[in-house]
A = this chain, B = another copy of it.
Amino acid sequence: MAIMNVTLRDISTSDTTIDYGPLGNDLGYMLRRAQLWIFQDFIRTMAPLDLRPAQYSVLVIINQNPGLSQITLASALGIERARLVRLLDQLEGRTLVERRPSANDRRSHAMHLSAEGERLLAETCSLVASHRKSCLAEFGGQANYATLVKLLCKFGSLEQDAAGQ
């Protein structure tokens, strides 16, 4: 049942080897560790623009689907309506997004990026590329990265389309 052993790199004092047991084979645990690592690198890399992963994902989806409603946006991102409200409050407070009245339904908003939002999103490109470079380095190459993305798309009601880069 012992599956994985890890020597802790960052502990110089003791060279203790830790037995992870079933965790070494647990996809959920591995996902958590990897995601934590990537998000921390993302936050660090995007610090000049003060953009966190959730905020970035909101800007991207609005940019790709201008005019969509909040409920569609929340559903697309897999987050709660209530959570999205506060995310949008932040981004609107920085005048990066706009809640415009919907043409058809006076209950809903049509979400758009402001000119500044578009500018900021354009600025993310080089930083995102730099972030990806770190991921490739930490992980070990383009092929593995692509394999991971492809396999992970099968989760969470996501289905990848034909046009993979």
Could you tell me which A residues sit within 8 Å of B by CB distance? 2-11, 14, 16, 18-39, 42, 53, 57, 60-61, 63-65, 68, 72, 75-76, 78, 128, 131-132, 135, 138-140, 144-145, 147-149, 151-161, 163-165
Query: Does B31 contact A34, Cβ atoms closer than 8 Å?
Result: yes
Q: Which residue of B lies closest to A16 (CB)?
A: B72
Query: Does B18 contact A164, Cβ atoms closer than 8 Å?
Result: no
Query: Does A18 contact B152, Cβ atoms closer than 8 Å?
Result: no
A76 / chain B contacts, CB cutoff of 8 Å: 6, 8, 18, 20
Q: Which residue of B lies closest to A78 (CB)?
A: B33
Interface of A is mostly: helix
Name 20 extra pairs, CB < 8 A, besides A2-B163, A148-B151: A6-B158, A6-B161, A18-B72, A20-B61, A21-B64, A22-B128, A24-B160, A25-B165, A27-B152, A29-B57, A31-B38, A31-B152, A32-B35, A32-B39, A33-B78, A34-B155, A35-B35, A138-B155, A139-B155, A144-B151
